[in-house]
């Protein structure tokens, strides 16, 4: 039996949240406070520069001052960490983001962990990761998992009591998202490179999240009818067209809802980054955290 599949587009929620960010930034500016967002990128990776450009564009639209520090590809680990230390110690800098991935000769995890906990608006330092896992309110949550949870809530999709299969166990998406879904009451199965039969876990899942980075890796025919699919993948198909990990056409009439690529999780990641900048400022100054409405 074919069902009506809803596209979970991020634009309405993104607009609503960014309006709240602009309101807070205006409030701070009127009180003589300017929020400053520093973004570091290393090398000339085209995709990374496009992501940085979008983040800076949205931040500036919200009234947040930005500074993009583009380092050459041969930057040393020591020079990168010295830069991060300088930004940590700069009282004018509210938020720091290190654009990943880095060139292979650099240790990205080590560099990320140099970022001050309360300036880590990507929520990727060991401290913020631990606080997230321990369900602490003072954690800065990773932007993509936070965006996913917000989109589910906005679409009135309740994880409690559901089986959620997350494909991918990176510290950017898979692992922190699994923690957030468990916190929301879901029974979570985390599939990874050593999982023997991914399809088995997919066909029994009420919520599927794919963060593999493999174009059209999942076909709708193997998924449970009425399930919800969250596609974190950003790939290009054989024709060079942007697509996700999930073949969206094969899911129409099979799933109850699915995020499109582009227009789904990507905008939610950038939006959650903006709310994290506000949250970082409030925690740095012992203010009441914003109760984001959506």
Domains 31-119 and 143-266 share a fold: yes
**Is the separation of the CB atoms in 210 and 168 below 8 Å?**
yes
Encoding tokens for residue 109? 């995890």
Ranges of the chain whose pLDDT falls below 70: none
With 0-12 / 13-18 / 19 or more C-beta atoms within 10 angstroms meaning exposed / middle / buried, residue 203 is middle
**Is the separation of the CB atoms in 181 and 166 below 8 Å?**
yes
41-55 pLDDT per residue, tens: 999 888 888 899 999
* Annotated catalytic residue within 55, 114, 162, 224: 55
**Coil, strand or helix at 218:** strand
Encoding tokens for residue 25? 């930034």
As a whole number of angstroms, the distance between CA 123 and CA 172 comes to 9
Question: What is the model's pLDDT at position 166?
Answer: 98
Question: What is the model's pLDDT at position 137?
Answer: 82
- Considering only the top CATH level, what class is 143-266? alpha beta
What residues does each domain of the chain span? 31-119, 143-266
CA–CA–CA angle 272, 278, 281 (5° rounding): 140
**Coil, strand or helix at 260:** coil
Encoding tokens for residue 31? 């009180």
Residue 249 bears catalytic tag: no
As a whole number of angstroms, the distance between CA 208 and CA 220 comes to 11
As a whole number of angstroms, the distance between CA 176 and CA 143 comes to 10
Instruction: Spell out the residues 6+ positions from residue 132 whose beta carbon is closer than 8 angstroms to its own.
Output: 123, 139, 141, 142, 176, 179, 180
* Annotated catalytic residue within 14, 20, 99, 254: 99
* Annotated catalytic residue within 122, 206, 245, 279: 122
Question: What is the model's pLDDT at position 240?
Answer: 86
As a whole number of angstroms, the distance between CA 253 and CA 168 comes to 26
Question: What is the model's pLDDT at position 237?
Answer: 86
Encoding tokens for residue 97? 């983001």
Share of the chain above pLDDT 90, in %: 89
Residue 122 bears catalytic tag: yes
Nearest C-alpha neighbor of 134 from the set 186, 97, 171, 182: 182
Fold of 31-119: Rossmann fold (3.40.50)
As a whole number of angstroms, the distance between CA 147 and CA 89 comes to 29
pTM of the predicted structure, to 2 decimals: 0.95
Q: Are strands 207-210 and 228-231 parallel, antiparallel or unpaired?
A: parallel
């Amino acid at each position: 039996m074919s069902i009506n599949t809803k596209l979970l587009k991020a634009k309405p929620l993104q607009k609503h949240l960014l309006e709240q960010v602009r309101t807070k930034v205006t409030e701070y500016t009127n009180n003589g406070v300017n929020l400053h967002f520093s973004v570091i990128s290393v090398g000339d990776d085209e995709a990374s520069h496009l992501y940085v450009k979008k983040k800076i564009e949205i931040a500036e639209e919200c009234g947040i001052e930005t500074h993009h520090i583009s380092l050459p590809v041969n930057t040393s680990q020591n020079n990168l960490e010295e830069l991060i230390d300088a930004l940590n110690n700069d009282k004018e800098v509210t938020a720091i983001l290190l654009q990943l991935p880095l060139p292979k000769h650099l240790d990205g995890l080590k560099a990320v962990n140099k970022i001050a906990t309360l300036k880590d608006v990507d929520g990727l330092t060991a401290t913020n990761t631990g606080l997230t896992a321990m369900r602490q309110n003072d954690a800065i949550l990773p932007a993509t998992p936070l965006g996913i949870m917000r989109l589910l809530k906005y679409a009135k999709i309740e994880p409690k009591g559901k089986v959620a299969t997350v494909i991918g166990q990176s510290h950017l998406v898979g692992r922190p998202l699994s923690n957030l879904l468990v916190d929301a009451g879901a029974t979570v199965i985390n599939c990874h490179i050593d999982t023997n039969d991914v399809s088995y876990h997919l066909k029994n899942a009420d919520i599927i999240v794919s963060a593999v980075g493999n174009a059209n890796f999942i076909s709708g025919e193997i998924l449970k009818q009425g399930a919800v699919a969250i596609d974190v993948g950003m790939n290009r198909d054989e024709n060079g067209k942007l697509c996700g990990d999930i073949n969206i056409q094969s899911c129409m009439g099979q799933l109850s809802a699915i995020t499109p690529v582009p227009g789904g999780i990507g905008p939610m990641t950038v939006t959650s980054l903006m709310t994290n900048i506000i949250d970082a400022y409030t925690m740095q100054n012992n203010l009441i955290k914003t109760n984001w409405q959506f």
